[in-house]
Structure 1
Amino acid sequence: MAEYVAKPGKLWLKGEKKPKKKKSHKRKHESDDEAAAADNAIEGEVLHETWRRVRDLVDVKGPVCLVSRTGAYIAAQDDGCFVEGVPGESEKRPPNEAEEYLGYTVGDEKVALKSGYGKYMCTSSSGDVVGRSDAIGTREMWDPIFQDGLIAFEGSNRRFMTVEESGKLMSTAEKVSDDAKFTLRTSKSKFKKAKTEVEKEYGKKLSNLEMEYVNRYQSFQDHHVIVTQKSRDELRGAREKGKLHESLLDRRAKMKSDRYCK
């Protein structure tokens, strides 16, 4: 039998209070950093702390900038034309006023871009991409095509927006070439859509949800909560059919002590 050896430590007298151990939050911080890194990996590279890659139509709303495949910003000019800037400049600095646009979603599938000069980007009859419109019409609407973190814009003339060798922006390509692929970035913070009360309730356990409804609406007798003893199978079926609230109301209506139901 092995000899027992007492573990050395400070002697605590009776009545003395031992100091509470401080909880380490290192693990929590590490997990938060890992989650942020994973989110950035999914959403794409974040530049200049605020400008993140747009991968979905919902993120087109608000301040955006357009970057060509060479890493150059697409800038608006005072004559209404759009040109490609210096290659690689987007990695060195955030966009300036001429390189920043306001993105809008039109319906469920189309987008519109408004330059810093207050004009909407559109395709002309000759295929030039210009910004001279004060309102959104058919020519100001673009069909965005997202793939692998990049975006292509199809104009109303059924041609794709491209950067020509001269650096000018045109809408003449019949197919999505490398010059027709852009990176769209937004400075709008990414947030998760909060669940509505209905969505939260549909995710709860039925027994807990019914108890919450009873506590919320039922008048108590002798300080006891009265819940129907009927099977909750009907609630399961009602939830699948989208009639959970109606079923809960019917069950509460049958309880005589419920003052809110007939």
Structure 2
Amino acid sequence: MSEYDQVKISKLVLKGDKKKGKKRKHKSKKQEKPTEKIDKDSIEHANWWKVAKIEDITGPVAIEFGKHTYVKALDNGLFTIGAPHADYEGPYPEEILTAVVINERKIAFKSGYGKYLRVEKDGNVTGRSDAIGAMEQWEPVFQEGKMALQSATDCFLSVDDEDDSIVAKNKSAGPQNMVAIRCQTVKQDTTSKEVPVEENGSLEQVEINYVKKFQKFQDKKLRLNTEDKSALKSAKDGGYFHETLLDRRSKMKADRYCK
């Protein structure tokens, strides 16, 4: 049988039949992959990209005035404008803040010293707050590709011309109030918002979570405020939820940040 296996079997060709040539398969043109858009601005800032909406403002950020100059935290609780950086150089550690989302309109910023940025009555911006209240909340205002940061006093963030300190004294936003918030985190789908662990559950449970987190009693017994909790709902809708929680804890003298 081995001899039969070696016989090449071919198709029977009758007289008069023309041999059909091999059809050449035309190579389909490869679909050209869309070229990825290169963010030159981000590359020039060491991959710190410019945010375009409030949902992008999360995690480590830097507030840039002009080009390559960032808001810088000082160890005395004040802020100044840092020295200009060269191209392809990112912000220094003291120029990096942490953004905290308050609600759909407002955010807070924490310095590297663990304190929140606050606008004072005189318009000076300080970083000495341990908790987020109304004066620690900032609203990014976007218009025609530009952005300004509005404080709780309705004044916009800027740099003082005399001493380069950071202030919020202008009621209307001009060129001196235009900023860029730069972020280094990977862009993610913002349809699902990350909720802090303490804010899971009902308003009552949220208050209990924060009391457990900040209570100063060694016996670990909860001291809860028994006042009407309806104020918590209006505070959450109004954007001063954390301040109200702190006030309620302070009345019970149950918070380590209470004076």
> What TM-score do the two structures reach when normalised by structure 1?
0.58
Matching residue within 131, 134, 140 for 2:130: 134
Does the CA-based 8 Å contact 1:67-1:90 persist in structure 2?
no
Q: Distance in 2 between matches of 1:86 and 1:121?
A: 20
Hey, which of these two has a bigger chunk of helix by percent? 1
2:113 counterpart letter in structure 1: Y
Q: Distance in 1 between matches of 2:100 and 2:75?
A: 21
Corresponding position of 1:36: 37
1:36 to partner: Cα distance: 2.9
Q: Distance in 1 between matches of 2:59 and 2:166?
A: 22
Provide the secondary structure at the position in 2 that maps to 1:112. strand
> What TM-score do the two structures reach when normalised by structure 2?
0.58
Corresponding position of 1:181: 178
2:87 counterpart letter in structure 1: E
Q: Report % sequence identity.
A: 29
Does the CA-based 8 Å contact 1:159-1:173 persist in structure 2?
yes
Matching residue within 56, 76, 90 for 1:94: 90
| 2:157 maps to 1:156 | no
Where does 1:178-257 land on structure 2 (aligned, <5 Å)? 178-192=175-189
| 2:59 maps to 1:62 | yes
Provide the secondary structure at the position in 1 that maps to 2:36. helix
Gap runs ≥5 in structure 1:
1-13, 15-19, 196-262
Gap runs ≥5 in structure 2:
1-9, 11-24, 193-259
Q: Distance in 1 between matches of 2:170 and 2:191?
A: 41
1:191 counterpart letter in structure 2: Q
Q: Distance in 2 between matches of 1:138 and 1:64?
A: 21
1:83 to partner: Cα distance: 0.7
Does the CA-based 8 Å contact 1:149-1:183 persist in structure 2?
no
Provide the secondary structure at the position in 2 that maps to 1:98. helix
1:131-181 CA-to-partner distances (Å, cap 9, x unmatched) read: 001110000001110124432111111211111112110011111011111
2:37 counterpart letter in structure 1: A
| 2:102 maps to 1:106 | yes
Matching residue within 75, 80, 83 for 2:80: 83
Question: Given the superposition, is the C-alpha separation of residues 194 and 115 from structure 1 closer, same or farther in structure 2, using an over 3 Å criterion?
Answer: closer
1:21 to partner: Cα distance: 10
Question: Given the superposition, is the C-alpha separation of residues 193 and 83 from structure 1 closer, same or farther in structure 2, using an over 3 Å criterion?
Answer: closer
Corresponding position of 1:11: none
1:24 to partner: Cα distance: 8.7
Q: Distance in 2 between matches of 1:181 and 1:47?
A: 19
